[in-house]
Amino acid sequence: MVRHRYKKFIISILIVFWGFFQTVLAQDPLFSQFFYNAIYLNPANAGSANDPRIFLSYRNQWPAFGSTFVTYQGSYDQYIKSIQGGLGINIIRDNISGGIINSTKVDLMYSRRYIINYNWTVQAGLQTSFNFFGVNASSVNANLPSYTTTQPDVGVGILAYSRFSQWGLSVDHLNSGYLKVNPTFVPSPMKISLYYSRNFKVFNPRVINSRTYIVSPALLVQKQGPSLYVNYGLGVRYETILAGVFVRTNVPLQVTNTIFALGVTLGSWQLGYSYDYNMLSLKNMMPLTGAHEVTLTRTFPPDPTRQRYGPVPCPKFVTE
C-alpha cells in the first residue's frame, strides 16, 4: 500500500513536471559501477580483454519508492584475430514507474587494435545504436499519451593502455538528433566521457610473503547537455575480495553521492554490489533516494593453445 502511494506520487510528479521530465528522458542512464560497464562506457573496449566476456547489471534508483527507476544492462564482447579487433553487443533497458515509460537501446560495436610500442596499445571503436522509446499510460489514470518511437544513433571511442594504466575517451550521440516525445521533440544531447585508471601494488618489502594489495584509483568525467558529472575514488583488492569508495559530484563540484562497493571473484566470475548514498538528503533535498546496483561478469576460460595478445589492464578490483 505504501509503495502504491509512492508510485502514484511519482506519476503525479511526472505529469506536473512533464516538460522538465522530457529533458531528463534524453539523458543516458548513469551507472555507479562504471568500472564494470566497460562496453557501455566506451565502444573501444570491445575485445579489450581478448577472451569472451559477459556483463550483466541491475540498477534500482530510488528504491524507497519501489520499482520507480530500474535499469537492466547486458553485454558481450570478444577479440577476433582475423579482423585485428573486437566485436561487441550491448543492450540496456530503462523502466520508469513500473514500465509506464520505458526505453531500450541496442549497441553494436567494433574496435580496431593498434600496437604503438612495447608499452602502449591503442584501440579505436565505432558504435551503431538503435533506440526504442515508449510510453504506456493506459494502465493508470494519467494525462499522458501512449506511443512508441525508434531512432538510430552513432558513437565513437578511443582507448590507450599500458601495463599499469589506461585512459579512454568516447563520444555518444554524434547525430545529436531529437527523440520524439509526442507531440514534441526532445533533444538527444551529445555525451562525452573521459576515463582514467591506474593499478598500484602495495606490500611490505621487509616482510617475506607480505600481503599484497592492488590499489586502483579511477576518474570518470561525463558531460551530456547541461549535466556534468565527475566520479572519482579508488578500489582495493586483496586476493578474491574487493572493496571501493567513490564520490560523484556535479558542477559546481557539489557532492551528490558517495558510492560504496563490495565484490568477490570466484574463478572466472565476478560479483559486485554497490549502494549510492545520497548526500543531498542531508540537506533535505531529494530524501529517501539512493540506488542499489548489482553486477555479474564472466570471462570465459582461455584456450591454452591460443596466442595471447596483451589484454587491457583493467583495474584489479574488476578482473584478474
Max CA pair span of the chain: 70
Residue 214 has pLDDT above 90, yes or no: yes
pLDDT at 107: 95
Residue 92 has pLDDT above 70, yes or no: yes
Between 306 and 212, where is the model more confident? 212
* Lowest model confidence (mean pLDDT) among 177-181, 189-193, 252-256, 281-285: 281-285
* Lowest model confidence (mean pLDDT) among 9-23, 36-50, 261-275, 295-309: 9-23
Give residues with Cβ within 8 angstroms of 293, minimum separation 6: 31, 32, 33, 57, 58, 59, 60, 273, 274, 275, 276
Residue 217, CB-side half-sphere exposure with 13 Å CA sphere: 4
Between 10 and 123, where is the model more confident? 123
Give residues with Cβ within 8 angstroms of 82, minimum separation 6: none
Residue 47 has pLDDT above 70, yes or no: yes
Residue 175 has pLDDT above 60, yes or no: yes
Backbone angles phi, psi at 319, to 5 degrees: -135, 170
From the CB of residue 208, how many other CB atoms can be counted at a distance below 10 Å?
Answer: 6
Between 121 and 252, where is the model more confident? 121
Q: Look at residues 28, 43, 34, 30 and name the one whose alpha carbon lies nearest to residue 77.
A: 43
**DSSP states of 149-190 as a string?**
EEEEEEEEEEEEE-SSEEEEEEEE-TT--EEEETTEEEE---
Q: Which SS3 state, helix, strand or coil, does residue 18 take?
A: helix
Cβ 67 vs Cβ 101: under 8 Å? no
Tell me the per-residue pLDDT of 140-158, one tens digit each, with 9 for 90 and over.
555 566 667 778 889 999 9
Q: What is the 3-state secondary structure (H, E, C) of 86-107?
A: EEEEEEEEEEECCCCEEEEEEE
CA 204 to chain centre: 35
* Lowest model confidence (mean pLDDT) among 149-153, 184-188, 249-253: 184-188
What confidence tier does 1 reach under pLDDT thresholds 50, 70, 90? very low
Residue 288 has pLDDT above 70, yes or no: no
Average pLDDT for the chain: 81
pLDDT at 226: 81
Residue 233 has pLDDT above 90, yes or no: yes
Residue 72 has pLDDT above 90, yes or no: yes
Q: Taking the CA atoms of the chain, what radius of gyration do you get in angstroms?
A: 21
The whole-angstrom separation of Cα 24 and Cα 28 is: 9
Cβ 33 vs Cβ 57: under 8 Å? yes
Give residues with Cβ within 8 angstroms of 213, minimum separation 6: 201, 202, 203, 236, 237, 238
